[in-house]
Amino acid sequence: MSTMTLSAPAGIRTNRGFWGLLWALYTTQFIGAAFLSTGLVGILRDGGTDLGTLGALQLLALVWPVKFLWAPLIDRWAPGRARGHYRSWLLVLQPLMVLALLAMAVFADPQDSLRVLVILAAAFVLFSATQDIAADALSVRGLDRSQHDLGAGVQVGASYIGTVIGGGLALLIYDAWGWRAAVIALALCTAAAMVPVLRHREPERAASNAQPRGLSGMFGMLAVPGAKAWALGGVPLVTFGSAAVWSLVTPALVDAGWSLAFIGAVTSMIAAAPALAAALLGGRLCRRRGRGVTLLLGAGIQLLGGVCLAPVVWPGAGVDQWLQVPLGVVGACGVLAGYTVMNTGIYAVNLDLARPGCAGADFTLLSSIGMLGGSVGAWAALFLAGMAGYGASLVFGLAVSVAGVIVCRSHPLLARRA
């Protein structure tokens, strides 16, 4: 099967309403995800929750990498086909995400009802992961091939808006008005996405796009020429290396003597601004210069960020305190922005590879493999840092990321320019 037949048919006119829908869906996914992984952890730790419990809470994030297991079900069945196959899923899942957040606001102090709060957090993660399957499927089916580059920029860029709201703004609201105000504000932001969902009218799926069942429906995309090297080789290496480098930022800056509040501002808010710009720039670069050039540029930006971080994390570098802060901030921004540019090119190829009949399953499988690579990379980098120091771990992560870019560039879709 040629890869040129895998994406949505050419000629689809994507209006502004659809672009607004994608921005809303991908932003709200990461509002809750960032809150649970960053904001909630900070709030609970501030209240005295032990690190073991906080570590167990982080395990909820494993739901996202394994969501490919039920993605074929989302492709095959919908709660209300008359309202649009994937839209009907959004009409159910988006309110459930809101309700899960509002249920958290029932409790005045999260410390007093931690067990129930963890259950509600697990429910939210499940709802948001499933919502992501439906949103990805809408992207595959609703975007023309010529729009995949810009669509990838929206997917990646919206995640950083959600990260700023859920990881940064939520903490500011918590400091000013308390727990309930923070959670209700996040619920209102998540509910706002219902407006474009209600206005969206999803085209009926053609009969020729019948979904394969069983393993063919779940893993059939890997049979596409070049897909195995891409999905099982290049992409996991890029995400492994990038996550490895990023995982070092917070602990290294802590050991360098930075305050937790400033580190949180740098990683959750300051670095998110250039990352958002990088996502939008990456989409346009893919369109004008090609995905291969975009990946190389992203790798270069990430390497520059790593070079800036090296004197901060390397023991005995002898960097003065006044120079350490700007180097650390620029380094963190560069590492995240570079990965964002690369990720935009990766998502654009993933949109091309996904088959319309298995839109949710295919794109979800590709992104899940990348997430697993990132999870292993973050663990490996911290383990290596404990054994050989931050400097060696930083060089290792950057080298793996560059190796992934080299493997990815061998894929023919990377040479494509819209």
DSSP 81: G
**pLDDT for residue 206:** 56
**pLDDT for residue 1:** 34
DSSP 9: P
**pLDDT for residue 205:** 62
pLDDT > 90? residue 21? yes
Per the model's pLDDT, the better-predicted residue between 42 and 196 turns out to be 196
Per the model's pLDDT, the better-predicted residue between 259 and 310 turns out to be 310
CA torsion 314-320-326-330 (nearest 10°) is -20
Average pLDDT over residues 238-256: 86
Average pLDDT over residues 358-373: 86
Per the model's pLDDT, the better-predicted residue between 58 and 296 turns out to be 296
Number of helices (H), then strands (E), belonging to the chain: the values are 19, 0
Per the model's pLDDT, the better-predicted residue between 4 and 159 turns out to be 159
Tell me how far CA of residue 175 lies from CA of 42, 179, 260, in angstroms: 11, 8, 15
**pLDDT for residue 303:** 94
Closest by Cα among 165, 184, 202 to 22: 202
Q: Any residues with CB less than 8 A from the CB of 137 and at least 6 apart, and which? A: 74, 75, 86, 359, 360, 363
Tokens 């982080």 sit on residue: 58
Q: What does the alpha-carbon distance between residue 272 and residue 264 come to, in Å, rounded to a whole number? A: 11
Phi, psi of 224 (to 5 degrees): -65, 135
User: Exposed, middle or buried: residue 175 (CB in 10 Å: 0-12, 13-18, 19+)?
Assistant: exposed
378-395: b (≥16 Cβ within 10 Å) or e: bebbbebbeeeebbebbb
pLDDT > 70? residue 33? yes
Helix (H, G, I), strand (E, B) or coil at 32: helix
Q: What does the alpha-carbon distance between residue 185 and residue 65 come to, in Å, rounded to a whole number? A: 27
Helix 272-289 to helix 291-313 angle, to the nearest 10 degrees?
Answer: 150
pLDDT > 80? residue 132? yes
**pLDDT for residue 208:** 44
Tokens 């901060």 sit on residue: 312
Per the model's pLDDT, the better-predicted residue between 228 and 201 turns out to be 201
Q: What does the alpha-carbon distance between residue 71 and residue 73 come to, in Å, rounded to a whole number? A: 5
Average pLDDT over residues 189-211: 79
Helix (H, G, I), strand (E, B) or coil at 205: coil
Q: What is the pLDDT of residues 84-127, one digit of tens each?
A: 899 999 999 999 999 999 999 998 888 888 889 989 999 999 99
CA angle, residues 172, 178, 182, in degrees to nearest 5: 60
Average pLDDT over residues 58-75: 86
**pLDDT for residue 138:** 92
Helix 359-388 to helix 235-255 angle, to the nearest 10 degrees?
Answer: 40
Tell me how far CA of residue 378 lies from CA of 137, 345, 350, 381, in angstroms: 28, 22, 23, 5
Q: What is the pLDDT of residues 330-365, one digit of tens each?
A: 999 999 999 999 999 898 888 888 877 788 888 888
Average pLDDT over residues 387-402: 91
Average pLDDT over residues 50-57: 71
pTM for the whole thing?
Answer: 0.81
Q: Are 398 and 240 in contact (CB under 8 A)?
A: no
Tokens of 95: 């309110």
Average pLDDT over residues 165-181: 85
**pLDDT for residue 212:** 54
Residue 7 binned pLDDT confidence (cut-offs 50, 70, 90): very low
Q: What does the alpha-carbon distance between residue 401 and residue 378 come to, in Å, rounded to a whole number? A: 12
Q: Are 238 and 342 in contact (CB under 8 A)?
A: yes
Share of the chain above pLDDT 90, in %: 31
Helix (H, G, I), strand (E, B) or coil at 254: helix
**pLDDT for residue 20:** 93
Domains in the chain: ranges and CATH: 3-415 (1.20.1250.20)
Average pLDDT over residues 240-257: 85
Q: Are 91 and 397 in contact (CB under 8 A)?
A: no
pLDDT > 80? residue 142? yes
Per the model's pLDDT, the better-predicted residue between 127 and 222 turns out to be 127
Tokens 């771990």 sit on residue: 393
**pLDDT for residue 378:** 84
DSSP 102: H
Q: Any residues with CB less than 8 A from the CB of 149 and at least 6 apart, and which? A: 283, 284, 286, 287, 291, 344, 348, 418
CA angle, residues 48, 174, 112, in degrees to nearest 5: 40
Q: What does the alpha-carbon distance between residue 216 and residue 416 come to, in Å, rounded to a whole number? A: 27
**pLDDT for residue 51:** 62
Q: Any residues with CB less than 8 A from the CB of 104 and at least 6 apart, and which? A: 110, 117, 120, 121, 183
pLDDT > 90? residue 16? no
Mean pLDDT of the chain: 83
Residue 417 binned pLDDT confidence (cut-offs 50, 70, 90): very low
Average pLDDT over residues 67-76: 89
Q: In this predicted structure, which of 165-179, 207-221, 338-352 has the lowest mean pLDDT?
A: 207-221
pLDDT > 60? residue 2? no
Element (H, E) at 157: helix 148-163
**pLDDT for residue 88:** 94
Average pLDDT over residues 375-379: 85
